[in-house]
């Protein structure tokens, strides 16, 4: 269990992390979400003991990270941002080195290295120099180095940055797999990633926590809008007077004008009323041809933007 | 700690750095050996080359120490090291020991000159051992200063220039005022090739080494709270 209590980090007069507190239970996959410079990496660096907080306390299984750093560091596997690696070593040498400095029992090193190479799918490149590997493989090597001592807690700083879509899916499924029996904290500024992988999201903005919730709850928190997107062919602009025909419509907004003469509108309705049936029927009577109609899903993206805007006010 | 020493040694000998250091040093020593011992003195005083050797050391030691921490910092691998359960003291010591091992290997290579001389007439073994000990102590002081310089910058070139600059400054300090006589490592070393192991000199060099290593640890520790 990780407990962060009133932690502040100051660089001179600049406050990077401002009095944050949160708790992460064993086995949870938690996403730290925030724009660049929000304080995600700083927070992670403090938990791993790479830097020290100006104020506050961080407890890992009730052990203070400042008082007994050796003990807490053993419990954590940290994959820093930008996957720093010793590029002059081969994959196997690197992972073995990581096992050694993390004080894995000497007799177990060989076996654990083999196991983790297999788990992360880099067995076939184990004798290659790291500098000759592609970005996706480097990410896996870094992950292997993080996992080699079987840490209880995995801390991954932007684990999918710089990867192509195929590699992203692969790394994500690897993280999910390890999330089954590890506590995982990962940071990201990609919302869909967090909502796919994480049980819980901590949103940070300008060094402050503005929300801690499940991805689903966060989406619901902002999903009180009820809007429908329609793409129509409407030569006589009858849609301007549609508000009079359908009472539940609050607002009609032009979103996009396509080259083929069709227009995309957003139609905002009263709460909790599904407008789609009525729109379909009335538009047909009015000779407005519907090309496409879609109920707008509120996404984590909306939640994020709203929360950040709200936090700044 | 042994893991870090091994990895550092690998770093020296998988990259050109280690070979450049040993090669450069031995080429210069060989030139001095041929011109001074065989050419000028025509004696079997093996230890004489180490007077010049100490000067050469000023320029080659920074080659092996400049990367110690600056490169780790620049590449971010520092994060891997600092978040491992190894203590800062062990990390600093490991880097120091690795560089010292490179110097020891170099010293062993210089025994070649000893072998050449002993073909003609046997050099004094006691003085030879005494010189090698003094030279090692001198090298250790230089290495520790180099490691310290590399801990305060992430630029290897800056670390190199800083080390050479400080070492050269230490040559000239005694000329400014005799108060600084004991600050010149090279002066302190110069007793050893005469076969004198002076306790004060030995302690000065060892404590200088310790001081630089402690300063390095303090710099790294301090960075945790300010960076």
DSSP result, B6-66: HHHHHHHHHSHHHHHHHHHHHHHHHHHIIIIIIIII-S--GGGHHHHHHHHHHHHHHHHHT
**Predicted local distance difference test score (pLDDT) of residue B19:** 92
- Write out chain A residues lying below 8 Å of B16, CB-based: none
- Report whether A197 contacts A29 (CB < 8 A): yes
- Report whether A176 contacts A197 (CB < 8 A): yes
Indicate if A217 and A92 belong to the same structural domain.
Answer: yes
- Interchain pair A102, B226: CB under 8 A: no
**Predicted local distance difference test score (pLDDT) of residue A225:** 62
- Report whether A100 contacts A92 (CB < 8 A): no
Which of A221, A245, A279 terminates a domain? The answer is A221
- Interchain pair B83, A145: CB under 8 A: no
**Chain segment B167-197, per-residue pLDDT in tens:** 998 888 888 877 777 778 888 888 888 888 8
- Report whether A187 contacts A156 (CB < 8 A): yes
Q: Kindly indicate the confidence band of residue A21, based on its pLDDT and cuts at 50, 70 and 90.
A: very high
Q: Kindly indicate the confidence band of residue A298, based on its pLDDT and cuts at 50, 70 and 90.
A: low
Residue (of B1, B107, B92, B97) closest to B60 by Cα position: B107
Instruction: Look at chain A and report how many structural domains it folds into.
Output: 2
Q: State the Cα–Cα distance between residues A95 and A123, nearest whole angstrom.
A: 11
Q: Does A32 touch chain B if contact means CB atoms closer than 8 Å?
A: no
Instruction: Identify whether A305 is part of a domain.
Output: no
- Helix or strand or coil: residue B155? coil
The residue of chain A nearest to residue B81, with distances taken between CA atoms, is A101
Indicate if A23 and A95 belong to the same structural domain.
Answer: yes
Among A54, A100, A145, whose Cβ lies nearest the Cβ of B3? Answer: A100
- Nearest CA to CA, how far is B201 from chain A (Å)? 36
Which of A200, A221, A242 terminates a domain? The answer is A221
Q: Kindly indicate the confidence band of residue A310, based on its pLDDT and cuts at 50, 70 and 90.
A: low
Q: State the Cα–Cα distance between residues A200 and A214, nearest whole angstrom.
A: 4
Q: Is the pLDDT of residue A221 over 80?
A: no
Q: Is the pLDDT of residue A312 over 60?
A: no
Instruction: Identify whether A307 is part of a domain.
Output: no
Which residues on adjacent β-strands are paired with residue A8?
A55
- Report whether A279 contacts A237 (CB < 8 A): no
Indicate if A43 and A107 belong to the same structural domain.
Answer: yes
**Chain segment B135-146, per-residue pLDDT in tens:** 999 999 999 999
- Report whether B190 contacts B51 (CB < 8 A): yes
Burial of B121 (0-12, 13-18, 19+ CB in 10 A): exposed
CATH of the domain at A251: 3.30.70
Q: What is the mean pLDDT of chain A?
A: 86
Indicate if A199 and A286 belong to the same structural domain.
Answer: no
Average pLDDT over residues A157-166: 84
Q: Does A139 touch chain B if contact means CB atoms closer than 8 Å?
A: no
Give the residue numbers spanning the domain of A124.
Answer: 2-221
Q: Which stretches does DSSP call E strand in chain A?
A: 2-11, 14-24, 29-33, 55-60, 63-64, 76-79, 153-157, 183-188, 200-205, 208-213, 227-233, 249-257, 263-269, 289-295
Instruction: Identify whether A308 is part of a domain.
Output: no
Indicate if A196 and A251 belong to the same structural domain.
Answer: no
Residue (of A82, A12, A20, A85) closest to A46 by Cα position: A20
Which of A221, A250, A279 terminates a domain? The answer is A221
- Interchain pair A84, B77: CB under 8 A: yes
Q: Which two tokens stand for residue A273?
A: 């009323």
Indicate if A263 and A124 belong to the same structural domain.
Answer: no
- Helix or strand or coil: residue A270? coil
Instruction: Identify whether A301 is part of a domain.
Output: no
Query: What is the DSSP code (8-state) at residue A82?
Result: T
**Predicted local distance difference test score (pLDDT) of residue B37:** 79
**Chain segment A22-35, per-residue pLDDT in tens:** 999 988 999 998 88
- Report whether B222 contacts B215 (CB < 8 A): no
Q: Is the pLDDT of residue A273 over 80?
A: no
Instruction: Identify whether A274 is part of a domain.
Output: yes
- Write out chain A residues lying below 8 Å of B82, CB-based: 49-50
Go through A86-124 and write b for each residue having 16 or more CB atoms within 10 A of its CB, e for each that does not. beebbbbbbbbbbbbbbebeeeebeebbeebbebbebee
**Chain segment A58-79, per-residue pLDDT in tens:** 999 999 999 998 999 999 999 9
* Tally of residues, chain B: 227
Half-sphere exposure of B3 (CA within 13 A, CB side): 19
Q: Which stretches does DSSP call E strand in B48-173?
A: none
- Nearest CA to CA, how far is A101 from chain B (Å)? 6
- Interchain pair B82, A80: CB under 8 A: no
**Rg of chain A over CA atoms, in angstroms?**
25
Q: Kindly indicate the confidence band of residue B118, based on its pLDDT and cuts at 50, 70 and 90.
A: confident
Q: Kindly indicate the confidence band of residue A224, based on its pLDDT and cuts at 50, 70 and 90.
A: low
- Interchain pair B15, A88: CB under 8 A: yes
Indicate if A38 and A134 belong to the same structural domain.
Answer: yes
- Write out chain B residues lying below 8 Å of A78, CB-based: 79-80, 83
The residue of chain B nearest to residue A68, with distances taken between CA atoms, is B85
CA B22: distance to chain centroid? 12
**Predicted local distance difference test score (pLDDT) of residue A205:** 86
Place of tokens 């992670």: A44
Indicate if A21 and A145 belong to the same structural domain.
Answer: yes
The residue of chain B nearest to residue A10, with distances taken between CA atoms, is B226
Q: Is the pLDDT of residue B147 over 90?
A: yes
Could you tell me how many CB contacts below 8 A there are between chain A and chain B?
73
Q: Does A145 touch chain B if contact means CB atoms closer than 8 Å?
A: yes
Top-confidence range, A106-120, A177-191, A210-224: A106-120
**Chain segment B121-130, per-residue pLDDT in tens:** 888 888 889 9
- Nearest CA to CA, how far is B102 from chain A (Å)? 19
Q: Is the pLDDT of residue B149 over 90?
A: yes
**Chain segment A90-114, per-residue pLDDT in tens:** 999 999 999 999 988 889 999 999 9
Indicate if A240 and A177 belong to the same structural domain.
Answer: no
Q: State the Cα–Cα distance between residues A84 and B76, nearest whole angstrom.
A: 5
Indicate if A79 and A93 belong to the same structural domain.
Answer: yes
Instruction: Identify whether A117 is part of a domain.
Output: yes
Q: Is the pLDDT of residue A154 over 80?
A: yes
Among B10, B78, B87, whose Cβ lies nearest the Cβ of A70? Answer: B87
Indicate if A110 and A196 belong to the same structural domain.
Answer: yes
Q: Does A97 touch chain B if contact means CB atoms closer than 8 Å?
A: yes
Q: State the Cα–Cα distance between residues A85 and B108, nearest whole angstrom.
A: 33
Instruction: Identify whether A206 is part of a domain.
Output: yes
Average pLDDT over residues A165-190: 86
- Interchain pair B77, A73: CB under 8 A: no
Backbone conformation region of residue A150, classed left if phi is above 0, alpha if psi is from -120 to 50, else beta: left
**Predicted local distance difference test score (pLDDT) of residue B14:** 85
Kindly report the number of other CB atoms within 10 A of residue A166's CB atom.
9
- Report whether B43 contacts B37 (CB < 8 A): yes
Q: Is the pLDDT of residue A299 over 90?
A: no
**ipTM exceeding 0.85, yes/no:** yes
Chain B interface, best mutation among A56, A101, A109, A132, by max B CB count within 10 A: A101
Q: State the Cα–Cα distance between residues A207 and A225, nearest whole angstrom.
A: 29
Q: Is the pLDDT of residue A297 over 90?
A: no
Q: What is the mean pLDDT of chain B?
A: 90
Indicate if A12 and A30 belong to the same structural domain.
Answer: yes
Residue (of A296, A286, A203, A289) closest to A245 by Cα position: A286
**Predicted local distance difference test score (pLDDT) of residue B176:** 82
Among B77, B86, B224, whose Cβ lies nearest the Cβ of A51? Answer: B224
CATH of the domain at A153: 3.40.50.300
Among B14, B85, B225, whose Cβ lies nearest the Cβ of A88? Answer: B14
- Write out chain B residues lying below 8 Å of A50, CB-based: 79, 82-83, 224
Residue (of B221, B182, B220, B204) closest to B72 by Cα position: B220
Burial of A251 (0-12, 13-18, 19+ CB in 10 A): exposed
Instruction: Identify whether A313 is part of a domain.
Output: no
The residue ranking higher by pLDDT, A132 or A302, is A132
- Nearest CA to CA, how far is B18 from chain A (Å)? 14
Average pLDDT over residues A121-129: 91
Q: Does A67 touch chain B if contact means CB atoms closer than 8 Å?
A: no
Q: Does A291 touch chain B if contact means CB atoms closer than 8 Å?
A: no
Q: State the Cα–Cα distance between residues A64 and B108, nearest whole angstrom.
A: 48
Query: What is the DSSP code (8-state) at residue A249?
Result: E
Main-chain dihedrals φ then ψ at residue A66, nearest 5 degrees: -85, -30
């Amino acid at each position: 269990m990780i407990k962060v209590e009133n932690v502040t980090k100051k660089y001179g007069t600049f406050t990077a992390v401002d009095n944050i507190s949160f708790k992460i239970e064993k086995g949870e996959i938690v996403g730290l979400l925030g724009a660049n410079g929000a304080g995600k990496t700083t927070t992670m660096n403090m938990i791993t003991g790479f830097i020290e907080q100006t104020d506050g306390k961080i407890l890992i299984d009730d052990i203070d990270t400042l008082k007994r750093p050796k003990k807490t560091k053993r419990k954590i596997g940290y994959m820093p941002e930008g996957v720093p690696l010793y590029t002059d070593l081969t994959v196997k040498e690197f992972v073995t080195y990581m096992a050694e400095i993390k004080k894995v029992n000497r007799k177990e090193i060989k076996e654990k290295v083999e196991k983790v190479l297999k788990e992360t799918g880099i067995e076939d490149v184990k004798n290659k120099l790291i500098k000759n590997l592609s970005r996706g493989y480097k990410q896996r090597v870094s992950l292997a180095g993080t996992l080699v001592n079987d840490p209880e807690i995995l801390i991954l700083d932007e684990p999918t940055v710089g990867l192509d879509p195929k590699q992203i899916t692969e790394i994500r499924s690897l993280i999910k797999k390890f999330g089954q029996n590890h506590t995982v904290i990962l940071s990201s500024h990609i919302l869909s990633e967090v909502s796919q992988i994480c049980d819980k999201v901590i949103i940070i903005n300008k060094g402050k926590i503005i929300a801690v919730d499940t991805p689903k709850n966060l989406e619901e928190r902002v999903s009180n809008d009820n809007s429908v997107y329609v793409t129509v062919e409407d030569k006589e602009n009858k849609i301007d007077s549609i508000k009079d025909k359908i009472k539940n419509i609050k607002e009609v907004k032009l979103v996009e004008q396509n080259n083929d003469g069709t227009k995309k509108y957003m139609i905002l309705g009263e709460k909790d009323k599904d407008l789609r049936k009525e729109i379909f029927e009335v538009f047909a009577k009015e000779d407005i041809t519907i090309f496409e109609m879609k109920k707008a899903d509120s996404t984590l993206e909306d939640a994020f933007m709203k929360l950040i805007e709200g936090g700044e006010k | 700690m042994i893991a870090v020493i091994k990895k550092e040694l690998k770093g020296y000998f998988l990259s050109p750095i280690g070979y450049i250091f040993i090669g450069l040093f031995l080429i210069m020593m060989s030139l001095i050996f041929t011109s001074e011992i065989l050419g000028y003195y025509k004696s079997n005083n093996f230890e004489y080359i180490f007077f010049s050797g100490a000067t050469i050391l000023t320029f080659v030691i920074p080659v092996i120490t400049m990367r110690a921490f600056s490169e780790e910092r620049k590449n971010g691998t520092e994060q891997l090291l600092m978040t491992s359960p190894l203590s800062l003291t062990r990390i600093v010591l490991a880097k120091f020991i690795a560089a010292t091992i490179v110097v020891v290997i170099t010293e062993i290579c210089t025994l070649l000159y000893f072998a050449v001389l002993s073909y003609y007439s046997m050099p004094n073994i006691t003085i030879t051992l005494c010189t090698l000990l003094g030279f090692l102590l001198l090298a250790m002081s230089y290495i520790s200063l180099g490691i310290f310089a590399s801990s305060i910058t992430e630029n290897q070139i800056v670390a190199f220039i800083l080390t050479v600059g400080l070492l050269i400054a230490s040559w000239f300090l005694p000329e400014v005022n005799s108060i600084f006589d004991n600050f010149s490592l090279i002066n302190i070393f110069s007793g050893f090739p005469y076969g004198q192991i002076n306790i004060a000199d030995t302690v000065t060099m060892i404590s200088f080494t310790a001081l630089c290593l402690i300063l390095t640890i303090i710099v790294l520790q301090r960075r945790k709270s300010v960076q």
